[in-house]
Chain A
Amino acid sequence: MQPIVVDNIVMKYRVKKTVVDALKGISFSVDKGEIFGIIGPDGAGKTSLFRILTTLLLAESGEASVDGFDVVKDFIDIRNRVGYMPGRFSLYQDLSVQENLEFFATIFNTSIEENYDLVKDIYIQIEPFKTRRAGQLSGGMKQKLALCCALIHKPSVLFLDEPTTGVDAVSRKEFWEMLHRLKEQEITILVSTPYMDEASLCDRVALLQKGEILSVNTPKGIISEFKKPLWAVKANDMFRLMNAIKEDPSVESCYPFGQHHHVVFKSAENGKEKLGQIAQKGNFSQVEITSIEPNIEDCFMALMKE
């Protein structure tokens, strides 16, 4: 029995007179002990999906189950056993670290001592501040506390909705390291994020855009789905270069990627040669052309356009 099974979930919102399709028929499943990422920008439908799976919202149609329990009929069972960290790390701002943790432990009919081993690695980082009010913690520390509170009752499935948004880069990295250590406890983790680079830190991911799944696969698998060769090109005037490349009819896409532009051609031709020609025609200097492996973002954008 898979811990999370989602079957053709459809979700709509009514905003004044218009109907918004938040989820347009989503299906996927998560295996035990997996870190499964839902990757997508704002408005993709991540939070709606999480709320349906944690039984906070009713889907328009479709079915889903968590640990074998149906999200509609058996919602009480699900609420008793999962851990949930909604966006904005909902904590009690005027309660201290210790008081928050104690509260969440008790309402799940357990105590801090009982499952201390589970959260120890994370908790010792915030323990020096245990009497400080949650509202006065930094973003990274709030994140750690919220994770402890979600874990303290040893849930079988953990739902983390955008836990790294708005947090500094160092804390983000530490957070993912903590998640990987949780895998050893066989806790299934469903995590959502708008940061494409975090996709490679998951076991498998689902790319979500405007309520539709673009692809479900391991990070490596997603990259292998990218069939066409990818070229990185750099020159002295990047803006003019981009326009020059885009004007060429044989180019399928050209996106800026920081120091380089990533270029895909419509048909299988020698991209390097073609790019060289374009560069020469435009009198560009300091030209560098390399063949590169696509990353998740390249794949996401290619899938978006399909």
Chain B
Amino acid sequence: MKQFLIFIKKEWLHIWRDRRTLVILIWMPVVQILLYGFALTTEVKNSNIAIFDQSRDEATTTISDEIAASRYFSLVQNVYSYNEIGETFRKGKIRMAVVFPRNFRYDLLHANHAQIQLIADASDPNTANTLTNYATSIINDYQQTLNPGEDQPYTINTQTRMLYNPELKGAYSFVPGVMALVLMLVCAMMTSIAIVKEKEEGTMEILLVSPVKPFLIIIAKTIPYLFVSMLNVACILLLSVFVLDVPLVGSLWLLIAESTLFTITSLSLGILISNGAKTQRAAQLASMMSLFLPTLLFSGFLFPVENMPVSLQVISNIVPAKWFYIIVKNIMIKGLGFSYVWKETLVLVGMTVLLLGISVKNFKIRLA
């Protein structure tokens, strides 16, 4: 037991005395959360638009005002010809143009239908779609006001409710993603580097020729990083709840428990990598390639996995972060309990046991 404790003390001293790395480890999640939360967002706000109003009647001006007032749009120009529209798009000044034909109100009231043209810059298709949708919904709102309460034959009213995240805030999906990423990085990469450092500096030789059991070496190396990771999780949660207004609807304890589980999964991955790597550089590279990137791409927080081809979806199943992401979303955003995440939890437990088993078994007790 004494052996174990002094080992942990030593590992802690290593981390503590490497001030630079320590600062990065603690600050990185903070920076990431703030960046993702505030600066980066898939929401589209304040997009530049232009309006070509060929009627300039009561209806068109009302609709134009509604659109311009919306926080999604920013009216930068009124244009007066189609040519001008083309030119403005080419110069990149606007992302969408709203075109009203002549006699709009007259057609609407007398012919019972009128048209509005929305032209969007689809070189970024997602944004184009979003913008036209926003505009269409504003126009529909106006339409509602024209026909208040009147019974119209065969009308279907679609009422959309955005569950869990009514304001469609991007931060809700980013926070769980960043948690997964940060834990992966801190635990897996740092642990693997710490283990390989002993090999590189030659101290591993002395540790092997001593009564210390190899198993102990591994566990002792992981414990300080477990602690740092929990600190990171705490930071991320605090920031998310109090600064980004992301709710923590479900059970905090369940979230902490699941985070601990995922941390251990990441640690096991780190140990596995350290078994193969001979230099710290190699460990770092392997961690980047096999952990960080797949987590970024396949966990689902940047790109929806369901949209990927089937083969990649299958691959995403072996990325632990994918399961963790689902768990965190369910608990934090949806407020669900254990009965809804037990399957994913089981997958993570299975992965952890497997990884730990392999890495401990493969741990080299000799130099070659």
Where the two chains meet, the residues of A that have a C-beta atom closer than 8 Å to any C-beta of B are: 51, 54-58, 78-80, 82, 84, 86-88, 90-95, 99, 102-104, 106-109, 149
Contact = CB atoms under 8 A, between A and B. Distances in A.
Contacts of A106: 2-3, 6
Nearest to B204: A90
A197 B3 CA distance: 41
Interface residues of B, number: 23
B210 A95 contact: no
B3 A94 contact: no
Contacts, number: 72
B367 A86 contact: no
Contact of B209 (A82, A93, A94): A82
Interface string B1-40: 0110011001001100110000000000000000000000
Contact of A90 (B3, B205, B368): B205
A249 to B, nearest CB: 49
Q: Which are the 7 A-B pairs with shortest beta-carbon distances?
A: A90-B202, A106-B6, A84-B209, A80-B211, A90-B203, A56-B367, A94-B17
B208 interface: yes
B10 A103 contact: yes
A104 B13 CA distance: 15
B113 interface: no
B2 A90 contact: no
A79 B211 CA distance: 6
B210 A108 contact: yes
A108 to B, nearest CB: 6
B368 to A, nearest CB: 6
Contacts of B367: 51, 56-57
A57 B205 CA distance: 11
Contact of B10 (A57, A82, A92): A92
B207 interface: yes
B201 interface: yes
A87 B126 CA distance: 61
B206 interface: yes
Contacts of A149: 206
Contacts of A51: 367
B212 interface: yes
B205 A102 contact: no
Contacts of A107: 3, 6-7, 207, 210-212
B202 A79 contact: no
Contacts of A78: 209
A86 B210 CA distance: 13
A95 B197 CA distance: 14
Nearest to A76: B211
Contacts of B208: 56, 79
Contacts of B207: 107
17 contacts: A57-B366, A58-B368, A80-B210, A84-B205, A86-B202, A90-B201, A90-B202, A90-B203, A92-B203, A94-B13, A94-B17, A94-B18, A106-B2, A106-B6, A107-B207, A107-B212, A108-B211
Contacts of A58: 366, 368
A95 B10 contact: yes
